[in-house]
Structure 1
Amino acid sequence: MIWVSKKTFIQGAKKGDKYAMHGEMPAHKVTVDGFFIDVTEVTNKQFKAFVDATKYITVAERPVDWEAMKKELPKSTPKPHDSILQPGSLIFNKDVNKVASMDNYTQWWTWKIGASWKHPEGPESSIEGKDNYPVVHIALEDALAYCKWANRKLPTEAQWESAAQGKDIDDIYTWGNNPEILNAHANTWQGVFPVKNESKDGFELIAPVKSYPPNSIGLYDMLGNVWEITADLFNVNYYKELDSSQPILNPKGASTSFSPNNPYQVEHVIKGGSFLCNASYCASFRISAKMGMSTDSGSDHIGFRTIVALDMLE
């Protein structure tokens, strides 16, 4: 783990960030106490050690509970066929060659029965030889279970941004403010999303950890590769509701979840973007960028890293 020093910085969209989105504004000052954070995202090897020790079964591997699921859906939602209600997870459909509208993300996402952290692309795939890849298909419950076993926590969004900023507290990216060198610093999507990835950064899909240079304090892959789960609830209006007359000390995020795209679901903030981020679509390869993730599911581009706060060492 690496120590992240206490600092006061601007959380949210930075001046001059042309990709800034609604939920990243307005920017505001925060003060975050020091803490330790993982050098990389939690890897397959590390997660396997947890599973071997505890016999834990991830959310993606468990039978689907329709009664629990429908509580988070509109009341008129019909029950899918039993053949659909099988353990699995979302994977990116890399065979898409045409989309009708960029507003419909279901065109490039597929529910894959049998997909899980051990089988990231479906039951025919495996993580053999991929010990140093970030673990994926992780739901919030899975990440919290790992944290409990390892005596860790998930970072708050503010802690995550403090770590990503490193020594440079006003930058848009972990390497500075120049988007032209993105390919040398992060695993993202180059080309026409979602139909053609030119892989100019060296990888078409997920990459091993430490495939790109670290930030100024030695943290790898804070941007790109896989999204990282945080402890905070996602609320697109959270920043607008803050009293920012003084720096906010150790903010814990919104008290309630709200996403206009998924108003019936509780979502947590995910940070850092992934190998699917492209300037023409989400442009989330920026420190201030965020999205909401349903708490009860994962996908093949969501992982996590953990922290140790000073009060955990007392």
Structure 2
Amino acid sequence: MSFGSAGFLLSYAQADAAYVQRLAEHLAASDLPVWLDAELRRDPAEIHDGLAAAPGVIVIMSPASERSERVEREILEGQRHGRPFLPVLLSGKRHFLLAATSFFDARDCGLPGQREITDLRDLLGGPVVRPSQRPSPVVPVATSSTEGSLRRLRQALEDGRFAHADILTTALLLESVQRLDKGWLRQADGVRLSPALLADIDTIWSKFTQGQQGFALQLSRHPGPPPGAPPGRYRDFLALALSVGWKNLRGEVSPRYEELVAVDQFPPGFFPTMRNPQLERFESWHDRWTDTVMAVHMRLRNSGVGA
């Protein structure tokens, strides 16, 4: 087991190390290269570089890993780089950041079978990910208090981890209306968003970006649909996307998340993007993003945020 650009990262909490050792040996016996995050905990930059190049991330989900700040950061970094995930549920509930991703049920301490091994081998051949069609067991998603989620958001922004904070913001919005396992919002979900929560999120983004990011700034740049465009529809979304830098006037296809945030300077109002990298393995991801953004912005226009 060694670190390298061709190796799958095994992300886990130390309490689950015994199972992880069995899993790592099982994968290695199937000629799947793996490396353990424990090997590199001294150097976060190496983990960053490894996640950027890894063909995928295998996350051991358990109560211990749910509490682990390191596991959370590795998931966020993997999503920021668009890495495919194979969550493995060892015990407890699904990790809130992976709620919309199919998982392997290992609550009987079993190891991935031939189907999962084949999926991992396929990932070694290239970046294209085929979404799994097999159903996962119905298992609740681990959630936290709103204040706990807002604390995570504050910490990410205080550390300057803007893409992490962006992903956490989307998760917080989804969690507040019980849509974590779906990964996107409908307009009917948007009307259930709490104005107080939207205001809290906006305040945090504004504070840690000197007023350059947040919902209020987005609203100031795009207060409503263009003339003749129905509110909440695609032309409304497109005008917003152009105004905050998610799209450009050349009409290019929207880049995947890792490309969208791979810049040194972000235009005013760029964040929060309300993107969910978990959905980008599906062809419908852009429609889901549009629906989510418009659900939030239709609510913002009637909530008084930034007024």
Normalised by the length of structure 1, the TM-score is 0.22
Bigger RCO (CA 8 Å, 6+ sep): 1
Q: Which structure has greater strand proportion?
A: 1
Normalised by the length of structure 2, the TM-score is 0.23
